[in-house]
Structure 1
Amino acid sequence: MKLPSGQQPPTPPAPATPRPAQTNDAGQPGRETAALSARQQLDQLQLANRETILARVTEIINRQGGGNAEVLLDVRGKPLQVSASIGATELTTGDWVKVMRAGNELQLMGKLAPTPEAAISRALAQRMPWQQSLDSGLAKLMTALNRGVVPELTSGQLPTGRSPQPLPEAARQALETLIGRLPASNTLAPGAGTQSNTVQQMRQWIAESGLFAESRLTQTPSSALPDLKLALGRMITGLLAEQSGDATTLFNRLTPLASPGLIQAPLQFPQALASPRPASSSEPISVGQTLRMLAGMLNRITVNQLHSQILTARGGGDTPAPASTMLMDLPWVTPQNEPRVAQLRIEQHKEDPASKGRDQKWAAISEWRLNLAIDLELAGALNFEVALRQQEVSARVWAEKQDTLKQVNEELPLLRRSLAELGLEVTDLECRRGSPLYPATKLEHRLVDTRA
């Protein structure tokens, strides 16, 4: 079989077997269990026997001697870790490979030649707007609310002659309103999800995340809307109003502050939760630093908006694109009034009518998938994966700490009852130790039409 570039594929190496999912019981990893787990993983990908598909290499986890390696593949938008003997085929992160299911194994059929779009994507990723994480930015803004900001130097003024001044009234009101609307972790108790007021709070939390700022303005053209992105814009306007000269031009020339992790992986979503906690410094920052920080926070929200559109519009290969994708950072505060961020990904997948026979009546069926990553003060890092298809729901919880894993397992019956009370049929519900293997999200091909 020839590749699209006209080159012959390399000699197919030994098949790659999907690694079995980890279980809480360490006493059952037998051969039958491993084979069953591999078959289940391939079945979940809706990959039929002898079917070929394109997959993307997202990570070379452990390259060993003799050509053996642990490889993380992105297959139809889902991560799949395999043990592979790749032989003379040199695989690197970002490569597209053609694989075929053979029973409970995946056979590597060949590697696709690099495309011009891949080089363009890498170049664009290096020039992404600098992003400031929302939690650390909000922590510094809270300090500015309490201690004020240091004004910029004027002509003839010495640096030692500056003392902190309160935020301008417009900026202070915008910040106080924003902080007052942030949800607190101690307001939600186990089982509260079935209450109508809690559901309404969650809807409001998502609606005011900043992801829908422009669409909300078209419906209600008022800059006073409670919205994270609009609130940051009001703070910027309030600070610029106190500056002399053409403040807007000066703001456009500012280099936004950026978080180190967001520079290294500007499109990774969710970000690793092992990052240091945002520390609120008692030292006041200057007006210029505040504006740079607000610019970086605006960039973060805007990148999530654009990234959501890219993931929705992407296409190509054998990987079906979601009908819609939404990526958002949801800020919240701890009981100690310290800001944190939960990262939410919502995808809608629609069933392909071509998969139905001519004699079968086809009705549009959507599957909604939700991924939530959050790091709690005592429970540690938690990841939630929920899939909803009509009235069927499945959920998987990942916990980093052993104590949290035990506590979540104790709460699973309550979660099952709560879902049943909503009229849903629970098909799968489990909790695992560790964290899921999310594929590295990068700029995909077809972001730019190179044929234009």
Structure 2
Amino acid sequence: MTGEMNILPVPPTTPTATRPQVVSGDLLKLLTPIEGLISAGKTANAEVLSLKQADQTFQLLLKVTVDGGRQTTVQATSTQPLPTGTNLAITQPSASNLAIAVQQTTASNVAALTRIDTAQLPAGTLLQGKVLTSQVLPQTPGQPTVFRSMVSLLNTALSGSTLTIDSPQPLRIGTLLSALVQDTQTLKFVPLSNRQDQLAVTQQLTTQQSRQGSLNSLLSALQNLPPTDETSADLQAAVNKLLAGLPDVQQLSTAKGLALALANSGLFLESKLLAGQTPTLAPDMKADLLKLIAQLTPPNSSLGAVIAANTLAQAMPSFVRSALGMLGQVSAKPLPTHFPLPERSLQSQDGEGDLEHLLRLAAAAVSRLQSHQLSSLEQTGVTDDGRLMSTWQLEIPMRNLQDIVPLQVKFQREEAPEKQPQNERRDEREPKQQLWRVELAFDMEPLGPLQVQAQLIQGSLSSQLWAERPYTASLIESNLAALREQLLASGLNVGDLDCHLGTPPQGAQTRLEQRWVDEIA
């Protein structure tokens, strides 16, 4: 999308960041009528937690603070958009309505911007944002149609602020856009490139990693879930299904069992849904976690808003969900990411019940799986020298006797760029060279933390192993010769096989610079 859009004009005396005007007396309609939320004749403070457009109305999630400091969240609809962070003074004329009494001043970092300070953001600065709302303004005869939108900024020092703009074109709600600053009142659209898509993925990855928690924390809690009056039959069935779907070490030792565990890891849930498959017909870790969350979420509970932020529908923009279903396709340039994901535990909060804590653990587990998915997207793309790289990163909880050991796996496939001489026929071309790289990370007693890196190209395999315990490193070193013999017997050419004490080095490694050299030539 190209073209210009204008920031709403304001008087010269208006500060850099101000609120759009809200008329006192405007009514907010409660989605669920609540009798006596605010006492008659009293005024309460309300803060807008989220904003979502629905046709010509706007759905708001409000945090209301009433007498005594008690807080509650309510959902309401409004005829005008109120940016996230807006503070209002409200009254309750009826059980179904709230009335805006006075709009209060709030901090500038959550205010809706009405002009750009070019001293802070000079002309030519690239702004990126997500469209929250879009309205067509009343048309003046003889004048072109104008569309008014609110955009949440994603970069620069104004990240998190809301910008109100007018545009000659409608902006689709939920889409990402980029624009260059022209002056204090004008922005210019620029096409959203693959690289900017990558920035959006990286931002989502940061959000997911801050929410995620280790899978074994949830699974251990599920194994020890005591039967109580709160444990319904449906909840127990969801727990049993989740635990029964976990593979054991013997299953992962076979090619068929490993392929099944990879398919059911949750990494491919979106691609299954895009293909029209029903996840209920086969085990899927992510689908089973979402079903568990549905059983754990109390009806009409304010916790629902918290958990909704961790589910697939609201935790990712639609273009990311679509991309997760097509991880094999080449998208943006890969960026370095950390593997494996570190352990992260969530502590039980004061006054929190067992099921409430279990609910937070389940939501954090979904975010952990989504962190792996987004890491896969982040590392899928075209390298600087033109090679095509695809990445699949996932986590499989596996049974080892009475323990559950999370196995983190990353597959990477690199293809050399295809070069076809003009006089060479298509059927005479040599097949593309492919380099496969596999990384494993797990912590299994009594061996302790282990990481494995292996590379395979044209039937030639090399591998490096890292153990954090001296005994384990010595044990592996003494068995490398037997491992080499088994690999040779399977038909592979075996290169380096080494074991090291410690952990793999992070960052770029020079050993990858000559990976396309033919060692046989």
> With structure 2 as the length reference, what TM-score do the two structures score?
0.47
1:412 aligns with 2:480: yes
Hey, which of these two has a bigger chunk of helix by percent?
A: 1
Q: In the alignment, which residue of structure 1 is the partner of 2:85?
A: none
1:131 Cα deviation from its structure 2 partner: 0.8
- Once the two structures are superposed, the pairs formed by residues 390-409 of structure 1 within 5 Å of their partners are 390-409=458-477
- Once the two structures are superposed, the pairs formed by residues 90-109 of structure 1 within 5 Å of their partners are none
- Paired residues, what number? 285
* Pair 279,385 (structure 1): closer, same or farther in 2 beyond 3 Å: farther
Match of 2:211 among 130, 135, 141: 130
Q: Any idea what the Cα deviations from partners look like across 1:315-365, whole Å, max 9, x if unmatched?
A: 46x365652101111112332x23321211100010123499988954211
1:229 Cα deviation from its structure 2 partner: 0.4
Pick 1 or 2: higher relative contact order, CA cutoff 8 A, min separation 6: 1
1:284 Cα deviation from its structure 2 partner: 9.5
Q: Any idea what the Cα deviations from partners look like across 1:359-405, whole Å, max 9, x if unmatched?
A: 89542111110010111111111111111112211122112222212
- Once the two structures are superposed, the pairs formed by residues 339-358 of structure 1 within 5 Å of their partners are 339-354=404-419
User: Residues of 2 paired with 1:126 and 1:334: CA distance?
Assistant: 32
User: Residues of 2 paired with 1:230 and 1:117: CA distance?
Assistant: 26
User: Residues of 1 paired with 2:416 and 2:201: CA distance?
Assistant: 29
Match of 1:229 among 286, 300, 309: 286
Match of 1:333 among 399, 420, 427: 399
* Pair 355,206 (structure 1): closer, same or farther in 2 beyond 3 Å: same
- Once the two structures are superposed, the pairs formed by residues 43-442 of structure 1 within 5 Å of their partners are 127-128=207-208, 130-144=211-225, 147-148=226-227, 164-185=228-249, 187=250, 193=253, 198-217=254-273, 218-240=275-297, 243-244=299-300, 251-252=307-308, 268-272=338-342, 285-313=353-381, 315=382, 318=384, 322-335=388-401, 337-354=402-419, 361-439=429-507
User: Residues of 2 paired with 1:207 and 1:413: CA distance?
Assistant: 33
Q: Which amino acid aligns with 1:331?
A: P
SS at match of 1:243: coil
Q: Which amino acid aligns with 2:261?
A: W
User: Residues of 2 paired with 1:402 and 1:391: CA distance?
Assistant: 32
1:172 Cα deviation from its structure 2 partner: 1.7
User: Residues of 2 paired with 1:116 and 1:222: CA distance?
Assistant: 32
User: Residues of 1 paired with 2:421 and 2:476: CA distance?
Assistant: 39
- Once the two structures are superposed, the pairs formed by residues 14-33 of structure 1 within 5 Å of their partners are none
- Preserved contact between residue 198 and residue 378 of structure 2 (Cα < 8 Å): no
Q: Please give the root-mean-square deviation of Cα atoms over the aligned residues, in Å.
A: 4.0
User: Residues of 1 paired with 2:465 and 2:363: CA distance?
Assistant: 35
1:226 Cα deviation from its structure 2 partner: 0.5
* Pair 278,399 (structure 1): closer, same or farther in 2 beyond 3 Å: farther
* Pair 373,310 (structure 1): closer, same or farther in 2 beyond 3 Å: same
1:279 Cα deviation from its structure 2 partner: 11
- Preserved contact between residue 451 and residue 467 of structure 2 (Cα < 8 Å): yes
User: Which ranges in structure 1 are unaligned for 5 or more consecutive residues?
Assistant: 1-114, 149-163, 257-265, 441-452
SS at match of 1:329: strand
Q: Any idea what the Cα deviations from partners look like across 1:64-87, whole Å, max 9, x if unmatched?
A: xxxxxxxxxxxxxxxxxxxxxxxx
- Preserved contact between residue 346 and residue 369 of structure 1 (Cα < 8 Å): yes
1:232 Cα deviation from its structure 2 partner: 0.5
Greater Cα offset, 354-363 or 341-350: 354-363
1:127 Cα deviation from its structure 2 partner: 3.8
User: Residues of 2 paired with 1:172 and 1:390: CA distance?
Assistant: 49
- Preserved contact between residue 345 and residue 370 of structure 1 (Cα < 8 Å): yes
Hey, which of these two has a bigger chunk of strand by percent?
A: 2
Q: Which amino acid aligns with 2:245?
A: R
Q: Which amino acid aligns with 2:242?
A: L
1:214 Cα deviation from its structure 2 partner: 2.1
User: Residues of 2 paired with 1:199 and 1:206: CA distance?
Assistant: 11
Q: Any idea what the Cα deviations from partners look like across 1:232-278, whole Å, max 9, x if unmatched?
A: 111122234x634798557426899xxxxxxxxx9632135xx5899
User: Residues of 1 paired with 2:446 and 2:363: CA distance?
Assistant: 32
Greater Cα offset, 246-255 or 289-298: 246-255
* Pair 408,215 (structure 1): closer, same or farther in 2 beyond 3 Å: same
* Pair 121,214 (structure 1): closer, same or farther in 2 beyond 3 Å: closer
1:408 Cα deviation from its structure 2 partner: 1.1
- Taking only the aligned residue pairs, the percentage that are identical comes to 25
Q: Which amino acid aligns with 1:323?
A: M
> With structure 1 as the length reference, what TM-score do the two structures score?
0.54
SS at match of 1:230: helix
- Preserved contact between residue 399 and residue 435 of structure 1 (Cα < 8 Å): yes
1:166 Cα deviation from its structure 2 partner: 5.0
Q: In the alignment, which residue of structure 2 is the partner of 1:95?
A: none
User: Which ranges in structure 2 are unaligned for 5 or more consecutive residues?
Assistant: 1-194, 313-335, 509-521
Q: Any idea what the Cα deviations from partners look like across 1:137-161, whole Å, max 9, x if unmatched?
A: 21122222xx14xxxxxxxxxxxxx
Which structure would you say has the larger Rg? 2
